[in-house]
Structure 1
Amino acid sequence: MHILFITLAILSIHACNKPGKPLQEQTFVRTVVDTNPPVTPLSPEMSIQKIQLPPGYRIELVASEPMVQEPVALAWDGNGRMYVAEMNTYMKDADATGEFEPASRIKLLEDTNGDGKMDKSTVFVDSLVLPRVILPVGDQLLVGVTNIQHIWSYRDTNGDGKADEKKIVFKNDVLDVRNLEHQNGGLLWNLDNWIYPTRDNLRYKYKNGLLVVDTMVDNMIGQWGITSDNYGRLFYSEAGPGLPAVQIQQMPAYGALNFNDQYTQDFTKPWPIIGNLDAQGGKNSLRTEDNTLKEFTSGCGQSIFRGDRLPEDMRGDYFIPEPVGRIIKRGKVINRNGKIYIEDAYQQKDWLASADMNFRPINTYTGPDGCFYIVDMYHGIIQESEWTNPGSYLRQIIEQKELYKNKGMGRIYRVVHEDFTPDPTKPNMLNEPSSKLLTYLDHPNGWWHDNAQQLMIVRNDQSVVPALREIATGGKASLTKSPSPLARIHALWTLEGLDALDKKTLFQAFTDKDPQVRKTAVWISEHFINNNDTEVIQKLASLIEDPSADVRIQLSLSLRNNTSDPSQKIVKVLLAANPHNELMQFSFTTFTETQKKLAAEKERTQNLSPADRALVTNGATTFKQLCATCHGADGKGVLIGGKEMPAPPLVGSPRVKGDKTMLIQLLLYGLKDPVDGKTYPDIMPPMGSNTDEWVASVLSYIRNSGDLGNASSVVTTDEVKQVRAETPQMKEPFTLQLLEIFKLGRAEKSNWNNASAK
């Protein structure tokens, strides 16, 4: 039944929003349309009518079924052709029947007449298992699929729009046994020429057609989607604990770092316009007055808008979809003394909200035309089968609403504005000389200068080095005007990627009038620092009193790993001179603590048997990749953005140190509230689908990790096998009370057996 919850009241309508108009003047009102909406699929045109946006904005259709089906990610190559990854077997029913069949695809779409709508489609790659990451690199497309950790390169060598060449560019024979929602969900060629995934402790450099891997200290635990701003700062998100922005303070190579106040609590609250009954947390996740989602549960596909064909006040803002809420939230990114904060752009409403139950925004992008793009999977069931087991709340809603019927569709939209015309220029970078690519380094749309930098590096074209040096130091070279700070930054990083950065150019960048250029120069000098170049380190000392906190923070980050006396002296002086810079101080504290923990863990595990050491080591990897998302890397829980802890802490937990059987049962079948008298936003999902060895390794690490302050015996594979065999199949997760009852039953059985033996 349709219920009009709030009568539409427009207090002030501005028919025309001019570029740069402040947000507070863009008045619009959130209108809840239906608290118990129908689930019948709508045509793209009807679905667009169900979307609410601020005045002046509108949605345009770029592609829809049957041209695309179950889209999850897109990317443009240097010629503006769009690659779309389709998960064609994702959750066709609540049991995920046939989910891992090789029936998914990557499509290549083209707009041949320049009207903004795709009119040509070919299947670029067929017969894949749930492709999850795509990244164009030159004329190649890098692809990662589900359950496998290889990364492949596909190329079309004859121009028919279909890949006919396939090569492995990164090889890892270890299968990824994590739930598909917890595997890598993105690849990004960043400003610093490293290619970053969303998860784990790896990053890659593209060298001679292959990906060369670098291992970082901490695991990144982002999930679906990764983005960066104009200056190469990365932004991740975590759907599991409902954290819309994580690891936004410093680059991953310097370690994981988050603050509880890095975004406001308001930013964690979605404001949908329909009831969201299919939330994993059930009724507890919904507002009692209108059934709308009250907290993030599936944030993903975030992007920093860097285009030039929408209002100026959008540029640099953070956008993140919430597919369960059917909204896209907009945040203002604010730098205060080098620390990043995100504040909700609107009060109790979101930038975009849909009243279509099947609208599933899961990825967002800045397009070559300067507009904002949305990938809408348009799918009934959005949660993977681990959370839709028989008897679960979600299972009941799926069956009641018949959500399993809504599949095989998908839409791609772009958001435009009445005051702007999308850029009609069709990119032709793959066919243009590097001298032409140079001119794009100062393009007003970030998509253009990112791709120009990447292509020059992929070509390894040394002919542009003199011009790049001129641009980096403020000369025009082939530009029509003096280069902007962004153009100078891109020129510096392009020189780095071409192995052509010279000290003269670097030293001049140290004195650039723009603080972001100076910060870049410090960051990029790490190649010289790592080689103990005393001349460079001496020059860096001149930046100790730089007026920009960003520069001073970067100086401390770049030098702290170098053990030479001059480097350590600079770091010591910086710390003493900046006692109130929270980011600098806390980052250095976590860095030193991590170094001590790594040394202590190495020494402690040397006393374990080889078999036990292998269990703990493998378990540590899994914990950091998966469990830390909700329990925290230190096992003390997760506190970010003023949200309550998504899961209980493990440090000091009696269940971790106590009865092994109870702990094994808990991991095999999951745990639901209350825990020690406290309720948490989500249940602990069952992990019994993993192998006995996997379960044993995770629990061995948790029980025996110095990081978590525990020193109990390991859990063996045989112990897991025995508990699995002796525990009845559970239809739903355990409660602590039921675990205690099982424990009592085991004790009584043991007593009975002992008495019988006598």
Structure 2
Amino acid sequence: MKNRFSKYLLLLAISGLIYGCLKPLADNNTIYTKPPMDTDPAAPSLSPMESMGKIYLPEGYSLELVASEPMIEEPIDIAWDADGKMYVAEFLTYMQDINGTNENEPWSRVSVLEDTNGDGKMDKKTVFIDSLLLPRLLLPLDDRVIIGETYSNNFWSYRDTDGDRVADEKVLIFENDKIFKGNLEHQSANLTWNIDNWLYLSKDPFRYKWKEGKLIIDTLLDAPTGQYGLTQDETGKMYYSRAGGEVVALGFQQHPIYGNLEMDGRWADDFEQPWPIIGTPDVQGGKIRLRPDNTLNKFTAVSGQEVFLGDRLPLYGDLFVPEPVGRLIRRAKISNVDGKIVLSNPYDKAEFMASTDPNFRPVRVATGPDGCMYVVDMYRGIIQEGNWTREGSFLRPEIERRNLDKNIGKGRIYRVVYKGVKPAKVEKMLSLSSKDLLPYLGHPNGWYRMTAQKLLVLRQDKTIVSDLLKTLRGNSKGNAKRDEGIKRLHALWTLEGLGQLSKSDIISKTKDSDSRVSCAAIRLCEQFLKDGDQNVFATIKSLKNHPNKDVLIQVVLTSKTYANRDEAKLLIQEIVDLNPENEVIAVSSDVVTSDVENLKVKHVLKHPNTKNSIIRGYETFKVLCASCHGKEGKGIKDLAPPLVGSPRIMGDDLELPVKILLNGLSGEVDGKDYGIMLSLKGYDDQWISDVITYVREEIGDGGKTVNSRIVSDVRKKYGDREQYWTLKELGQSK
């Protein structure tokens, strides 16, 4: 494929900073010549340079090695502080053998990497904090870094106070001593500072805001159904992924504060099919997940995604999703079709990045402060957690046959560069005054925009309010060299974070010339609408004929927060009638009634213990179980069997579903092999009871309750069993 670099332009900022800017390139369907397919490749460990030689990219792109073993080991995540120092989370205990021995020991760490000579390669490493249990939250603030560990719900702030790059201050900023007992792959991760100044996680129904050195918590309408990986576009719309449900991307139709909305047609045809360039027989789903050429036929391990917002590659605004089982990274073009977000693969049966090295395990993509793309390669043999590699699994013999368990303790970080475009110089921002940070709010690299906004909100420096208001009150659309709208958008949210937005400024910005600013201002009107402010509602109502569909959709979503529900419904219906062909407006217009409230009403006559168990079970089912079995329990083709009518769940043998949940299931179910069902024995007895009770009551036809005493008895009876059950063993084979 011949990509043409259209142009990159110099943009002079107030402080004299020079910024580079790229315009998107047109793509065609030719990406690279695929190598001959090796359907059953050997998996020897290669040096970084040897492995890089086996990674394929479109014409014009190339890789640079930033760091590798022995400097780093088992990297899972990266992030930069405001001075451009790279923090690396290292999972040192993750799957160090086929059984996951010592996986839950606190032997992992977060390290700081630095390029001291400016050659683009890290040459100095300092262990920032060690003795961690698989750190899965990593968010630099100012000179503090938020870190959270696996199984823990506590958030800690770490700081280096003496300049040696080693943390010597540890402060508990959010306390929740409840221990998460489920599998580590099903825990929240990827704490992200959104443009709205709230911090979001990949799956929990909570969000957090920094206030006076602590995090305060707020509850979302729905629990996001992501897994590992979370990113946002330039307006703050968030993109989740769910490996367990084989979902490349989800949650992007609307901001999570409005609940979950998934629509048909959100992916172009064949978007769900990955295109490896090497055989991938080590899949947890078994042969049903392999094409005849032994390549992965569905995404099964998506994680660590990023909407690329850098300015040194012609990829701005595209979504990149690592798939470590497929040894590839998917590029997704994000299209807005009358307000509906649609993802498509710009290449014909090919991927942006793919490797013929079986140990290439991309787990994270990130936008760097130099405007380039960074790729974290865990570089290892086994990528699946131990629950999927136990005796009786499809994976275990594959791992043993190919000696995949022998490659551990390595890891690489790459930089993707584009021909003729050098990575930008990394600016140091921590020591800048608040006034000097303001130009960065309009920087063409989104990393700088978000970092500057975050620093300004953390500082709470009110001396810059007049400058921010001056920026906000402009209305220029800008041009190819200067995006004035994006600068106003960040000025708006920075003022919100400083608590310095007046009602009049918010109302004024609802009619901004840039729809991104208009939508944000409309959303900010909700604080007044909830109190029944009629004047603000009149402003919202005046936008009912707006030509931009994104604005209309936001008007609909915001109107649903108005205290006067009857007036809100009339306005929403009028907008729907004016736009009869727009499916997003139609779907967004539905008034959301809490499923929990519906369950309370439906089961009002049941004993409070049973009713509460059903509700708790529902919360678990929709986040964990529905990703495989479907929201209504009807199953998902080739992924998990239906629960509706299942004799294993709905029968009179109350111990049977407990056995399956505690130890998992392998082999055929009703004549079809769905692969392994995960053991859930890490959860407590009440949790197991709640899930089964919900399924029997809501998906089945009721019957006797499976209470926690039954679960406890089964756990004691089969406590020593490590193997998955088969239906033959359970007396359920046909």
Equivalent position of 2:259 in the other structure: 255
**Given the superposition, is the C-alpha separation of residues 21 and 475 from structure 1 closer, same or farther in structure 2, using an over 3 Å criterion?**
closer
- 1:587-606 alignment runs, 5 A limit: 587-589=588-590, 591-592=591-592, 594-595=593-594, 597-606=595-604
Is this contact kept in 2: 1:249–1:340, CA < 8 A? yes
Higher mean Cα deviation, 168-177 or 408-417? 168-177
**Given the superposition, is the C-alpha separation of residues 601 and 187 from structure 1 closer, same or farther in structure 2, using an over 3 Å criterion?**
same
| Residue 722 of structure 1 pairs with residue 713 of structure 2 | yes
Is this contact kept in 1: 2:182–2:680, CA < 8 A? no
> Which residue type is aligned with residue 345 of structure 2?
D
Identical-pair percentage:
44
| Richer in helix (by share) | 1
Give the 3-state SS of the residue equivalent to 1:353 in structure 2.
Answer: strand
| Residue 235 of structure 1 pairs with residue 236 of structure 2 | no
Q: Distance in 2 between matches of 1:676 and 1:531?
A: 55
Deviation at 1:511, TM superposition (A): 1.9
Is this contact kept in 2: 1:538–1:566, CA < 8 A? no
Deviation at 1:251, TM superposition (A): 1.1
Deviation at 1:102, TM superposition (A): 0.7
| Residue 739 of structure 1 pairs with residue 733 of structure 2 | no
- 1:552-631 alignment runs, 5 A limit: 552-564=552-564, 565-589=566-590, 591-592=591-592, 594-595=593-594, 597-631=595-629
Give the 3-state SS of the residue equivalent to 2:185 in structure 1.
Answer: helix
Equivalent position of 2:514 in the other structure: 514
Q: Distance in 1 between matches of 2:718 and 2:475?
A: 73
Give the 3-state SS of the residue equivalent to 1:236 in structure 2.
Answer: strand
Q: Distance in 2 between matches of 1:206 and 1:456?
A: 12
Give the 3-state SS of the residue equivalent to 1:101 in structure 2.
Answer: coil
Q: May I ask how many residue pairs the two structures share in their alignment?
A: 714
| Residue 216 of structure 1 pairs with residue 220 of structure 2 | yes
**Given the superposition, is the C-alpha separation of residues 645 and 434 from structure 1 closer, same or farther in structure 2, using an over 3 Å criterion?**
farther
| Residue 169 of structure 1 pairs with residue 162 of structure 2 | no
Structure 2: 5+ residue stretches without partners = 8-23
Deviation at 1:113, TM superposition (A): 1.9
Is this contact kept in 2: 1:474–1:482, CA < 8 A? no
Deviation at 1:466, TM superposition (A): 1.2
- 1:83-162 alignment runs, 5 A limit: 83-162=87-166
**Given the superposition, is the C-alpha separation of residues 38 and 673 from structure 1 closer, same or farther in structure 2, using an over 3 Å criterion?**
closer
Is this contact kept in 1: 2:153–2:178, CA < 8 A? yes
Give the 3-state SS of the residue equivalent to 2:343 in structure 1.
Answer: strand
Give the 3-state SS of the residue equivalent to 2:541 in structure 1.
Answer: helix
Deviation at 1:428, TM superposition (A): 1.6
Higher mean Cα deviation, 271-280 or 658-667? 658-667
Is this contact kept in 1: 2:207–2:217, CA < 8 A? yes
Q: Distance in 2 between matches of 1:713 and 1:587?
A: 39
Give the 3-state SS of the residue equivalent to 2:542 in structure 1.
Answer: helix
Equivalent position of 2:433 in the other structure: 433
Q: Distance in 2 between matches of 1:730 and 1:741?
A: 19
Is this contact kept in 1: 2:475–2:513, CA < 8 A? no
Give the 3-state SS of the residue equivalent to 1:230 in structure 2.
Answer: coil
Task: Give CA deviations for 1:436-491 in whole Å, capped at 9, x if unaligned.
Answer: 11101111100011111111111011111111111112179xx9x98611111111
Q: What is the root-mean-square deviation of aligned Cα atoms in Å? A: 2.4
- 1:349-360 alignment runs, 5 A limit: 349-360=350-361
Give the 3-state SS of the residue equivalent to 2:463 in structure 1.
Answer: helix
Deviation at 1:687, TM superposition (A): 2.1
Deviation at 1:615, TM superposition (A): 3.3
**Given the superposition, is the C-alpha separation of residues 296 and 717 from structure 1 closer, same or farther in structure 2, using an over 3 Å criterion?**
same
Equivalent position of 1:370 in the other structure: 371
Deviation at 1:421, TM superposition (A): 1.0
> Which residue type is aligned with residue 609 of structure 1?
H
Equivalent position of 1:268 in the other structure: 272
Q: Distance in 1 between matches of 2:313 and 2:662?
A: 50
Is this contact kept in 2: 1:68–1:409, CA < 8 A? yes
Question: TM-score normalised to the size of structure 2?
Answer: 0.93
Task: Give CA deviations for 1:182-224 in whole Å, capped at 9, x if unaligned.
Answer: 0012111011111110012111111111111111121112111
Question: TM-score normalised to the size of structure 1?
Answer: 0.90
Is this contact kept in 2: 1:668–1:686, CA < 8 A? yes
Deviation at 1:378, TM superposition (A): 0.9
**Given the superposition, is the C-alpha separation of residues 600 and 503 from structure 1 closer, same or farther in structure 2, using an over 3 Å criterion?**
closer
Deviation at 1:419, TM superposition (A): 2.4
Q: Distance in 2 between matches of 1:503 and 1:16?
A: 46
Q: Distance in 1 between matches of 2:141 and 2:365?
A: 20
Q: Distance in 2 between matches of 1:275 and 1:684?
A: 24
Q: Distance in 2 between matches of 1:482 and 1:630?
A: 45
Equivalent position of 1:753 in the other structure: none
> Which residue type is aligned with residue 313 of structure 2?
L
Is this contact kept in 1: 2:3–2:27, CA < 8 A? no
> Which residue type is aligned with residue 301 of structure 1?
G
1:701 aligned to which of 676, 694, 708:
694
Is this contact kept in 2: 1:704–1:713, CA < 8 A? no
Higher mean Cα deviation, 239-248 or 693-702? 693-702
Is this contact kept in 2: 1:95–1:388, CA < 8 A? yes
Higher mean Cα deviation, 523-532 or 718-727? 718-727
Equivalent position of 1:323 in the other structure: 324
Deviation at 1:627, TM superposition (A): 1.3
| Residue 662 of structure 1 pairs with residue 660 of structure 2 | no
Give the 3-state SS of the residue equivalent to 1:364 in structure 2.
Answer: strand
2:44 aligned to which of 28, 40, 44:
40
Equivalent position of 1:683 in the other structure: 676
Deviation at 1:574, TM superposition (A): 2.0
**Given the superposition, is the C-alpha separation of residues 586 and 674 from structure 1 closer, same or farther in structure 2, using an over 3 Å criterion?**
farther
Equivalent position of 1:751 in the other structure: none
Give the 3-state SS of the residue equivalent to 2:730 in structure 1.
Answer: helix
Task: Give CA deviations for 1:152-188 in whole Å, capped at 9, x if unaligned.
Answer: 1111111110111111111112111110000012111
Deviation at 1:599, TM superposition (A): 2.6
Q: Distance in 1 between matches of 2:555 and 2:344?
A: 27
Give the 3-state SS of the residue equivalent to 1:199 in structure 2.
Answer: coil
Deviation at 1:53, TM superposition (A): 0.5
Task: Give CA deviations for 1:316-354 in whole Å, capped at 9, x if unaligned.
Answer: 111101001110011111111111110111011111011
Is this contact kept in 2: 1:75–1:82, CA < 8 A? yes
2:284 aligned to which of 280, 285, 289:
280
| Residue 307 of structure 1 pairs with residue 310 of structure 2 | yes
**Given the superposition, is the C-alpha separation of residues 32 and 351 from structure 1 closer, same or farther in structure 2, using an over 3 Å criterion?**
farther
**Given the superposition, is the C-alpha separation of residues 138 and 646 from structure 1 closer, same or farther in structure 2, using an over 3 Å criterion?**
same
**Given the superposition, is the C-alpha separation of residues 60 and 606 from structure 1 closer, same or farther in structure 2, using an over 3 Å criterion?**
same
- 1:74-85 alignment runs, 5 A limit: 74-85=78-89
Give the 3-state SS of the residue equivalent to 1:28 in structure 2.
Answer: coil
Equivalent position of 1:754 in the other structure: none
